[in-house]
Amino acid sequence: MNSHAYPYSLLRKLLIPAAAVVIVLTIIGGCAYHRDFSADYAGPSPLPASIQKTYAYTPYAGPYETQPIETNSRYEVQKISFETAQGPLNQPHRITMEYYKQDPAGKAPVIVVLPILGGRYSITRTFAVHFAEAGCAALLVHRQKSYKKNLGIKNVDQTLKQIVIDHKLVLDWVEKQPELDAERIGLFGVSMGSIKASLLTALDDRVAAAVLGLVAGDIPHILTYSSEPGIKKKRNAYMEEHQITREELYQELKARVACDPMNYAEFMDAANIMMILGRFDTVMSYQKGRQLWQKVGQPELITILSGHITAYPMIPYIKEMATAFYEQRFGGVNQGRCQN
């Protein structure tokens, strides 16, 4: 979930060979398989009252702080922030967003971009910029640094629940912006961002469309078996401290973690979801990604011939496919649609 936590320039150097491999694969037969959404889908299950109660909160009405960052001929970038103490962690914290503001004739759809677990925002920001250049408003929600250490073994469930509440508060802000169309809210996430997006899609009906990149469910399995170095380090330390096996760790986490995309999959609307999986991904297990895809209801699926980090050369393709997906869901010539 934190596999991109490297300097951007170094990441590019490391992935030059991977880029060459992807180019070769494209030439000899393609490096992505695209499966359309099944028309036999019966629709999502209603969210039970017990789960609604778990994620109940008081909608936030402000105040918000706004600070200009950049203005160009296509959009304006603002920093939006506000203080809150809502959520199960019960800790005061500041939510910060980068808002790529459009000036359309009508209300614009907005794509909420959720970042990976650690590292810089460079890669995530390229997606927000791309969606803004395509004609959508975009909102890059910064992560809480303090949450990263909680997403280990002991406090993962409460932290994931806190993340859901934080992002519900972000959607409250979206609803209050007169230039944004709250009926056309899209989510975009890769890696940890896709887990956040999965949870919010299942638990908040204001989400109209979601693109889930390099996603998987079963958080206990990810924490127990992921090849991501940071997760492995925490896992090994915990197993050594408590003298338990990996399978015992998995069972412990299964008993502890309820806030999991796999547990909420049936509440996601497969008709408005596109998933992107890496066939050789061992950070966010491809097998667990497929299981999530099945449980959601077999939404539109792109399978790329890559691992987790080696999906980097596919970013331009992912951007275009995501934009086309939002265009299909949010299209309307005079409604501030996303357009290339």
Please report, for the domain that includes residue 227, its CATH number.
3.40.50.1820
Q: Count the domains in the chain.
A: 1
Provide the domain limits for residue 112: 8-330
Q: Nearest-5° angle of CA 225, CA 229, CA 234?
A: 70
Domain assignment present for residue 340? The answer is: no
CA distance 134 to 321: 12
Domain assignment present for residue 337? The answer is: no
Domain assignment present for residue 336? The answer is: no
* CB atoms inside a 10 Å sphere around CB 59: 11
Domain assignment present for residue 173? The answer is: yes
CA distance 227 to 278: 14
10 Å CB burial of residue 173 (0-12, 13-18, 19+) is buried
DSSP string, 24-89: HHHHHT-SEEEEPPPTT---PPPPPHHHHHHT--PPP----EEEEEEE-SS-EEEEEEEEE--STT
Domain assignment present for residue 1? The answer is: no
Contact residues for 252 (Cβ-Cβ < 8 A; gap 6+): 244
Give buried/exposed letters for 94-112 (b at 16+ CB in 10 A, else e). ebbbbbbbbebeebbbbbb
Structure tokens at 278: 């890496």
Are 93 and 164 in contact by the 8 Å Cβ rule? The answer is no
Domain assignment present for residue 76? The answer is: yes
Are 252 and 223 in contact by the 8 Å Cβ rule? The answer is no
Structure tokens at 175: 């609803």
Please give the pLDDT value at position 276.
Answer: 98
Structure tokens at 331: 């299209």
pTM for this prediction: 0.89
Please give the pLDDT value at position 137.
Answer: 96
Domain assignment present for residue 317? The answer is: yes
Please give the pLDDT value at position 334.
Answer: 37
SS3 1: coil
- CA dihedral sign, ordered 317, 126, 115, 230: positive
Q: Which residues pair with 110 in a beta bridge?
A: 137, 185
Question: What pLDDT tens digit does each residue of the chain (340 aa) get?
Answer: 433 333 334 334 444 444 444 444 443 335 788 999 877 899 999 999 999 999 999 999 999 999 999 999 889 999 999 999 999 999 999 999 999 999 876 799 999 999 988 888 999 999 999 999 999 999 999 999 888 776 667 789 999 999 999 999 999 999 999 999 999 999 999 999 999 999 999 999 999 999 999 999 999 999 999 999 989 998 999 999 999 999 999 999 999 999 999 999 999 999 999 999 999 999 999 999 999 999 999 999 999 999 999 999 999 999 999 999 999 999 853 344 465 4
CA distance 97 to 56: 22
Phi-psi region of 87 (alpha: psi -120 to 50; beta: other; left: phi over 0): left
Determine the residue type at 183.
E
Domain assignment present for residue 338? The answer is: no
CA 56 to chain centre: 21
- Cis peptide leading into residue 63 (ω within 30°): yes
Determine the residue type at 190.
V
Parallel, antiparallel or unpaired: strands 108-114 and 93-101: unpaired
First to last CA, the chain: 30
CA distance 326 to 111: 9
